[in-house]
């Protein structure tokens, strides 16, 4: 069975998972050598870690990035900035950059709250509004101020803003998964 690989870098992946994608290499200018004479490498960095992914020539004008589950098992979860570069001899060119979120391996975690800050705060505010907030929820703070000290009007305003932030998170997740963009498209006639 032939595997159809994405031709773009993933927006996220999980520790302990295998991941593969391919990227076409085009080098311009005085460097008209075939793509297979160039080496493609990805470097992922954040404040705590550095990851390097060496790619192989796929034989069809693409280079293959392939990470095994064993390799990614040692990665540290977090948001990384990545750069892709090609090198040949003493020449090196950056061919792409972006961000990737490396998610924790849920199979290795005990019970843990992985919701975003906005989702945790919204739940706490709604519990407070419904008079069912736990001590932990009442101790959350926004801008250094305990949510239990907010007026009802301030809580409603915070609730509205958090719902908007969560809707943006959900839209970003849907777009990253290849779903449709639900934004407004304006057309000038």
CATH of 12-108, one of 3.30.930.10, 2.60.40.3080, 3.60.110.10, 2.60.40.10: 2.60.40.10
Q: What is the pLDDT of residue 166?
A: 86
Q: What is the pLDDT of residue 33?
A: 52
Q: With bands split at pLDDT 50, 70 and 90, how would you rate the model's confidence at 148?
A: confident
Q: What is the pLDDT of residue 41?
A: 95
Q: With bands split at pLDDT 50, 70 and 90, how would you rate the model's confidence at 1?
A: very low
For 72, other C-beta atoms within 10 Å of its C-beta total: 19
Q: What is the pLDDT of residue 75?
A: 93
User: Token pair of 98, please?
Assistant: 């972006």
Domain edges within the chain: 12-108, 117-176
**How far is residue 174's CA from residue 178's CA, in Å, rounded to a whole number?**
7
More confident of the two residues 152 and 182: 152
**How far is residue 47's CA from residue 45's CA, in Å, rounded to a whole number?**
7
Least confident of 18-32, 81-95, 173-187: 173-187
Highest mean pLDDT out of 69-73, 88-92, 100-104, 125-129:
69-73
**Across all residues in the chain, what is the average pLDDT?**
81
pLDDT at 109 over 70: no
Please report the DSSP string for 64-121 in residue order. Answer: EEEE-HHHHTTPPPEEEEEEEEEEETTEEEEEEEEEEEEE--GGG--S-----HHHHH
Output the CA–CA distances (angstroms, integers) from residue 176 to 9, 102, 107, 172, 173, in the order listed. 11, 14, 23, 6, 5
Q: What is the pLDDT of residue 141?
A: 76
Could you give the angle at which helices 152-176 and 117-129 cross, rounded to 10 degrees?
150
CA triple 44-48-51, angle to 5 deg: 25
Q: Which residues contact 105 (CB under 8 A, 6 or more apart)?
A: 14, 15, 16, 17, 73
Question: What global pTM score does this model have?
Answer: 0.60
């Amino acid at each position: 069975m032939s595997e159809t690989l994405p031709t773009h870098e993933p927006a996220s992946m999980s520790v302990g998972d295998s991941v593969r994608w391919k990227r076409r290499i085009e080098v311009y200018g005085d460097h008209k050598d075939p793509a297979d004479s160039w080496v493609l490498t990805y470097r992922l960095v954040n404040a705590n870690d550095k990851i390097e992914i060496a790619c192989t020539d796929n034989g069809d004008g693409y280079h293959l990035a392939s990470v095994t589950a064993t390799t990614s098992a040692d990665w540290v979860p977090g948001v990384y900035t990545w750069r892709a570069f090609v090198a040949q001899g003493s020449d090196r060119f950056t061919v792409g950059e972006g961000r990737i979120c490396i998610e924790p391996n849920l199979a290795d975690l005990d019970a843990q709250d992985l919701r975003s800050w906005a989702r945790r705060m919204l739940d706490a505010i709604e519990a407070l509004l419904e008079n069912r907030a736990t001590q932990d929820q009442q101790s959350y703070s926004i801008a250094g101020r305990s949510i239990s000290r907010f007026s009802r009007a301030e809580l409603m305003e915070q609730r509205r803003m958090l719902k908007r932030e969560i809707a943006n998170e959900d839209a970003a997740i849907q777009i990253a998964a290849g779903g449709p963009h639900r934004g407004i498209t304006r057309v000038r006639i």
